[in-house]
Amino acid sequence: MTTNKQIHLVSRPQGEAVADNFRLVESEVPALKDGQVLVRHHFLSLDPYMRGRMNDSKSYAAPQPLDAVMIGGTVGEVVDSRHPGFRAGDNVVGMGGWQQYAVVDAAAPGSLRKVDTTHIPLSAYLGAVGMPGVTAWYGLVKICEPKAGETVVVSAASGAVGGVVGQLAKVRGCRAVGIAGGPDKCRYVVEELGFDACVDYKLHKDLKSLSTALKDACPNGIDGYFENVGGVILDAVMLRMNAFGRMALCGMISGYDGQPIPMQYPQLLLQSRLALRGFIVAEHMQDWPEALKELGTLVATGKLKFRETVAQGIESAPEAFLGLLKGRNFGKQLVKL
């Protein structure tokens, strides 16, 4: 029998998440039944949405169960199969969770997808050519609806989602402006990802300063905004939005610990006739093929760039996740298993 190391959620966070909310568990991998596939995970994806799942509160998805494997996207290799559509050696992406191995019911729709690593690294299927990339694509293309010559702003611009948003906006002929924390991340956003400008929110900590910096970076105002953070950053952007601007609400990481997120000028939604729409990318599976086709082509041809922060070993997942929530990662946060 093969031993499988797993990370379980064992308690709900009281405010800020801590390492004690998780526990390392070892179990035996069960024998496969007909229709099942055994996957050895090579990379685990860590994403901000997981913090919300740790809470036992009303949300768009059911809470993460206690004393069970923590939810998470994975890529890996089929090591054994009792399903005709998969064989040993296939590279696959799925939602295997925080563990080294997963037994997957391969007949369930969307449970496992084979991927081609000829021109695209396996890990990229958890980032730029995976859920974060499709999230960026959907929010930008379907909600922000960018037009050539317009200005698109994205918060958390150096992250797995934000970095793709700006690059896709540039492909569409827009001015792309990022908001990120610290000079290194802002330099990366401009010099490596090709944004036109990046505002350092750590340098502009109050609303007036941040709004002034955005005015300098967006001399023609803001037409599309992709929101990952909320709070004072959202307030500052709203002060600079053009009439009939479009805002894609993807994440509100400033409120993941449960505290309220005030909005200082909600009247701007009316005065500027803004369209603000929240979305969950898993509810738009019909758009994934179109998004993945564009994202995969751009990555394979070197036109879409990304960076990864990789923690080593399943034991490192909790601390790496807590670091992600504090912005310690650079680009996509992964765990190499």
Contacts of residue 77, defined as CB under 8 A and 6 or more positions apart, other chains included, come to: 39, 40, 42, 89, 90, 91, 92
CATH 3.40.50.720 intervals, the chain: 131-282
Mean pLDDT of the chain: 96
Separation of alpha carbons 127 and 129, rounded Å: 6
Quote the pTM value.
0.93
How would CATH label the architecture of 131-282?
3-Layer(aba) Sandwich (3.40)
Note the pLDDT of residue 88: 97
Tokens of 42: 């090579």
Task: Please say whether the beta carbons of 170 and 152 come within 8 A.
Answer: no
Give the CATH superfamily of 3-126+307-336.
Medium-chain alcohol dehydrogenases, catalytic domain (3.90.180.10)
pLDDT greater than 90 at residue 337: yes
DSSP-derived 3-state class of residue 89 = coil
Instruction: Give CA–CA dist 19/320, Å, rounded.
Output: 10
Would the pLDDT of 283 be above 90?
yes
Q: Tell me how long the chain is.
A: 337
Looking at the chain, list the stretches that DSSP marks H as alpha helix, in order from N- to C-terminal side: 49-53, 131-138, 162-171, 183-191, 207-217, 232-238, 267-271, 288-300, 317-325
Give DSSP secondary structure letters for 266-332.
THHHHHTT-EEEE--GGG-GGGHHHHHHHHHHHHHTT-S---EEEEESGGGHHHHHHHHHTT-S-SE
Instruction: Note the pLDDT tens digit of each residue in 77-120.
Output: 999 999 999 999 999 999 999 999 999 999 898 899 999 999 99
Between 86 and 58, the higher pLDDT residue: 86
Chain region(s) in the chain for CATH 3.90.180.10 = 3-126+307-336
